[in-house]
Structure 1
Amino acid sequence: MIDHRPPLSSLHDFAPWDPVLRLLLAGHPEIRPDGSARVAGRIGRRGWSLWLPGGMSGRRPAAVEHVQRALARGGVEEVAFSAEIMPTGRTTLRLVWPCPAVEAAVGYPDLGVLVLVDGSVPEPWRRLPDPVPGAAPAPSADLELLERTLREELPDAVGATEEDIAAAEARLGVTLPDELKVFYRVTRVQGEDRSDLHELDRASEAVGYEVCALDELYAADPVVRHSRWRFGATKGLCTAPDAAVQGLAGSPGWIVFGSNGGDEIAVDLTPGPGGYLGQVVLIDHEQSLGAELVADSFTDLVLGRNGERPRDRHEGLPVVAEVGGAGLPTVRAAAHPALEVLTVGAGHGAPFGLAPVTGLPRLRTLTAAPGTLADPLEIPGLTGLEFLALGPQEWRTLLDAGAVPRTLSAAAVREEGQDRRSVVAVANELLALWDRPLIDETVLEGVLLPEA
């Protein structure tokens, strides 16, 4: 196997890790029946995830700074680690180095997500908008009033030509709504030399957002948003029958024409069943999915008529369900044809059988805590899975039976007190099935002697 370990000689010795392990032992170690302790964490060049006394707030410990400096010298982003500490002080430390096939668990000490298909993203980020036959502009859209208002606000502005507008439409592959065409006929915002900052400021003031030039319009790409598998695989999307905005991560019909300095503002050419063609939506940069209705029309936006509309009524059963723990009592209670994501946790009489969700057409994600499934070999009956997270023993059952679903694009080996050695071994077997780069691990032995 190719050695991917970085040239970090200092971190390949036990001594630099001694103070880090002592910090963790003073925090929240996992104590096992034989008196041994298990600790785990992740240290990166720009952050760290450790369960320390008093939590993770406060000043960065010197022991962490030392590891971060070594990572920076070696050009390595981060290292995950776990340690088994016997009552005698004898310690086995396992270091897991970055792997191009592993999506790092930022902010978490576990191994991360195995990306089995290079470049893949969760289904909500691949979802296209539903067709909107019959969608029409809002009754409040008033082209004459909009143009008159804009010309009063921007009396000296230079507008775009019809050729400019046609070129923008050809580049975007859409027909721009008439209201947006009116705006750019009044002001192209900036000339090709980008020198007219006064016109930009005046146009932005008239609209209420920082607007962009006609040749800078773009469609909101869903993949640009937070599409990491760790979080995205368990997200669900739905569009209520009366929704103004479709539940999407992005749309070729969300044409961004400006921002508020962080969030994007767009006209919507793919509205929901209760929306209007050309309505204005806000795409929140802190959210990974969806958009918020701002105004029924561009006219309303410019005139400040952004009145409140009734919130969408989300009817029907949820597309995301949790069984066990604080969730539903049975898998059967979660089963329905629209179910997309199922999480199984401990409690309510676990382990659980998966027969009630076998064959569901939209079920794409299953995550199950170790020991919560009655029979892991029921998993192949979930024929549409793209993400699967299980404990190492459940994965071992599937691997030994040759029953790992080949529909998967990503997977995770849930640790939750499991031996990191078995977690890495199972992860590498899964990566090998997809001919992906393997995880490299360094094992160090040492003794944590009592401090003098």
Structure 2
Amino acid sequence: MVDQRPPLSSVCDFATWEPVLRLMLADDRDRRAARSARVAGRISQYGWSLAHLGSMSSTARSAVEDIQRALARGKVQEIAFRAEARPDGRTTLGLVWPSPVVEPAVGYPDLGVLILVDGSLAEPWLRRPDPVPGAVPAPSADLELLERTLRERLPGAIGATEEEIAAAEARLGVTLSDELKVLYRVTRVDWGDDFEEADRAGEAVGCELSGLEHLYSVDAAVRHPGWDLGATHAISTAPDAAVQSLAGSPGWIGFGSNGGDEFAVDLTPGPAGHFGQIILVDHEQSLGAQLVADSLTDFVLGRMREERPDRRRDKLPAVARVGSGHLETIQAAAHPALEVLSIDARHGAPFSLAPVAGLPRLRTLTALPGTLADPLEVAGLTGLEFLELGAQEWRVLLDAGAVPRTLKAAAIKVRDQDHLPVVAIANEILALWDRPHITQTLIEGDLGPAV
């Protein structure tokens, strides 16, 4: 959709963008060789991505800051732009406005990820914990020692009633570990009524302690980094893992923090773990958790573990990258466990997808422009939920009516191609799912011939 609406009149003025475009085109080889030159980038209220090496001139910086101020006034988070400058200087600038169906691409000037299904998450963030019928508390779990230690550290503390504990279990839909019940029988931790007492409770336990009514299950959806990053991840739990490789679990009961990361009692441990062990959910990580103590008793007594999360995810056979510097053939990536296939550029013939057709778990394909011998072979990948292709490859699929309808999200990768038609292609893809269109404003201007 091309829209000439000016939600921000100064941003829709070519003169506003001219210093930015001149900065990005200053060393462009195509323009110096009298060919059309193309650039793309993003500017948000708080930063920018201009794909420009070197320092920024004061004129360009001032222009960027003017655009940022205009975005802030208009309450527009960010704007993507793409421009084509012809040899004679005539230039078309396309401004792409934020859309609820587009997730911005991290670190790239590409349009972003098209969200085809509302609220959808990449598969690892939907993974539920495996059953743990044989899991038992660690030998170090000592209810009497735990209660005695807490009462010694918290004389006079007011504990929760059995009715309050039962209400918390009903709200969470789980049965709390016996150790966690002991903790809250000693102190119910009410930050609203007695801040000092709650602070003492935190010091006694060893973390910033949550009140009983604030216990929560770690939600995988909250940790989802977006499709741009999440689609290429895969997880699996090793047979000797103490913690299941998950983004979250109904059995990860958050009870405190260290000021940034969350401590949780783990009621769904890994094959080598213990029921009620203590794990740390790192706020800088979107998958997995770290075992820090075999029991709440150990945690309170300072007997910590140093076991790190399992880092074996995102590797063969579940995740494969083919192309220069990686696997040489698609055949080398083909495996029944393959979930994510990424195809990079290389010298030589494009790749055929035939070796991976019909693989039962393949859900993500990313392929740089020009790397597929026949884009229609994508139709043989029957379980795709995320697909990232070049504009020309998408054009082939759209013209043939062969876009996989299993997709939940999609992206158009643009590299050294015409950026301006990308929005039109994106809107064709969105239309297949009856999703709202993206708005683009086209502005004509003149930068003059290259000097």
TM-score where L is the length of structure 2: 0.94
- Give the Cα–Cα distance (whole angstroms) in 2 for the partners of residues 313 and 45 of structure 1: 35
- Give the Cα–Cα distance (whole angstroms) in 2 for the partners of residues 253 and 58 of structure 1: 54
Deviations 1:278-334 (A, max 9, x none): 111111111111111111111110111113458759599442111002221111111
Partner in structure 1 of residue 369 of structure 2: 370
- Give the Cα–Cα distance (whole angstroms) in 1 for the partners of residues 76 and 99 of structure 2: 11
- Give the Cα–Cα distance (whole angstroms) in 1 for the partners of residues 56 and 124 of structure 2: 32
> Aligned in 2, Cα 1:272/1:379: closer, same or farther, shift over 3 Å?
same
> Residue 183 of structure 1: CA displacement?
0.7
Partner of residue 205 from structure 2, selected from 202, 207, 214: 207
8 Å CA contact 1:27, 1:52 repeated in 2: no
> Which residues of 2 match residues 158-237 of structure 1 at below 5 A?
158-190=158-190, 194-237=192-235
Which amino acid in structure 1 is aligned with residue 324 of structure 2?
Answer: G
Are 1:130 and 2:130 matched, yes or no?
yes
> Residue 75 of structure 1: CA displacement?
2.7
Partner in structure 2 of residue 41 of structure 1: 41
Partner of residue 240 from structure 1, selected from 238, 244, 253: 238
- Give the Cα–Cα distance (whole angstroms) in 2 for the partners of residues 236 and 311 of structure 1: 14
Partner in structure 2 of residue 383 of structure 1: 382
Partner of residue 276 from structure 2, selected from 265, 275, 278: 278
Partner in structure 2 of residue 292 of structure 1: 290
Are 1:257 and 2:255 matched, yes or no?
yes
> Aligned in 2, Cα 1:431/1:333: closer, same or farther, shift over 3 Å?
same
> Aligned in 2, Cα 1:405/1:390: closer, same or farther, shift over 3 Å?
same
Partner in structure 2 of residue 79 of structure 1: 79
- Give the Cα–Cα distance (whole angstroms) in 1 for the partners of residues 450 and 309 of structure 2: 61
Partner in structure 1 of residue 410 of structure 2: 411
8 Å CA contact 2:384, 2:407 repeated in 1: yes
8 Å CA contact 2:87, 2:450 repeated in 1: no
> Residue 405 of structure 1: CA displacement?
0.3
- Give the Cα–Cα distance (whole angstroms) in 2 for the partners of residues 57 and 281 of structure 1: 49
8 Å CA contact 2:32, 2:450 repeated in 1: no
Larger RCO (CA within 8 A; separation ≥ 6) = 2
Which amino acid in structure 2 is aligned with residue 267 of structure 1?
Answer: V
> Which residues of 2 match residues 343-358 of structure 1 at below 5 A?
343-347=342-346, 349-358=348-357
- Give the Cα–Cα distance (whole angstroms) in 1 for the partners of residues 166 and 445 of structure 2: 70
Partner in structure 2 of residue 333 of structure 1: 332
8 Å CA contact 1:340, 1:363 repeated in 2: yes
Partner in structure 2 of residue 319 of structure 1: 318
Choose 11-20 or 51-60, whichever is displaced more: 51-60
Partner in structure 1 of residue 152 of structure 2: 152
RMSD of aligned C-alpha atoms? 2.5
TM-score where L is the length of structure 1: 0.93
Partner in structure 1 of residue 119 of structure 2: 119
> Residue 174 of structure 1: CA displacement?
0.3
- Would you say how many aligned residue pairs link Structure 1 and Structure 2? 450
Partner in structure 2 of residue 439 of structure 1: 438
Report SS of the residue matched to 2:415: coil
> Residue 26 of structure 1: CA displacement?
3.3
Report SS of the residue matched to 1:421: coil
Which amino acid in structure 2 is aligned with residue 256 of structure 1?
Answer: G
- Give the Cα–Cα distance (whole angstroms) in 2 for the partners of residues 106 and 335 of structure 1: 28
Structure 2: state its 5+ residue gaps: none
- Give the Cα–Cα distance (whole angstroms) in 1 for the partners of residues 330 and 58 of structure 2: 42
Deviations 1:350-407 (A, max 9, x none): 4111112111111110000001011111111111100000011111111111111000
Report SS of the residue matched to 1:338: coil
Report SS of the residue matched to 2:298: helix
> Aligned in 2, Cα 1:313/1:393: closer, same or farther, shift over 3 Å?
closer
8 Å CA contact 1:143, 1:179 repeated in 2: yes
> Aligned in 2, Cα 1:429/1:314: closer, same or farther, shift over 3 Å?
closer
Report SS of the residue matched to 1:61: helix
Structure 1: state its 5+ residue gaps: none
> Residue 53 of structure 1: CA displacement?
3.7
> Aligned in 2, Cα 1:177/1:58: closer, same or farther, shift over 3 Å?
farther
